[in-house]
Amino acid sequence: MIHSAVEVLRERGVAGVTIDAVLTRSGAPRGSVYHHFPGGRTQLVAEALNFAGDAIGAIVDRAAADGSTEILQRFVELWQKILRDSDFAAGCPVVAVAVGPTGDEELFGSTAAIFARWSEPLRRAFENEGLHADDAEQLATMSIASVEGAVVLCRSQRSRKPLDDVARQLELLIESQKFLTRGRSARTDK
């Protein structure tokens, strides 16, 4: 049911995640929802959000040891696959909650924590590659925001081009930041 809730969330947003929609997609009996999710729809959405955040976070974490370029490459590849496999019907479930109807502060707090979790390995990788802490944090935030925004554009245009364009420009920006940092370090070492 959680997998089905994630799928509905990324295709229809928070408002589209109804018990009926999840049951239809999952094939689970109605009674199982109330057994596994005594908090009802709210609990189901919260668990789907956290599950999706953890699953994507695990991809980012696995790539972290290989550096910033690898993290971004894996992140972009994930969205390319999701867009391709869903024929551009599915976006990010975390974004769906973040831009969804207001009223559930716990869910909004969860989205903030998830985005921070995705950014943190990237920030650390940038620092390990020589970027100043502030630059690393800003570049990590911009990278996540750019990819997530590109996914939205891909869905609306029914094309991978925005994501491909963002990935290429991020790669160039990251390499130029590393180059500038090396240049600053060489000047201060003299």
Domain of 141, in residue numbers = 50-189
Model confidence pLDDT, tens digit, residues 170-185: 999 999 988 888 767 6
Residue 107 resides in a domain: yes
> Is pLDDT above 90 for 140?
yes
Residue 129 resides in a domain: yes
Nearest to 36 by CA among 52, 23, 54: 23
Residues in the chain, how many? 190
pLDDT tier for residue 106 given thresholds of 50, 70 and 90: confident
Mean of pLDDT values over 12-30: 92
Task: Write down the pTM of the prediction.
Answer: 0.89
Residue 158 CB partners (closer than 8 Å, separation 6+): 88
Q: What CATH number is associated with residue 185? A: 1.10.357.10
Tell me how far apart the alpha carbons of residues 145 and 189 are, in angstroms, rounded to a whole number.
Answer: 34
Residue 169 resides in a domain: yes
Model confidence pLDDT, tens digit, residues 38-55: 998 889 999 999 999 999
What's the distance, Cα to Cα, between the start and end of the chain in Å? 61
Residue 13 resides in a domain: no
pLDDT tier for residue 105 given thresholds of 50, 70 and 90: confident
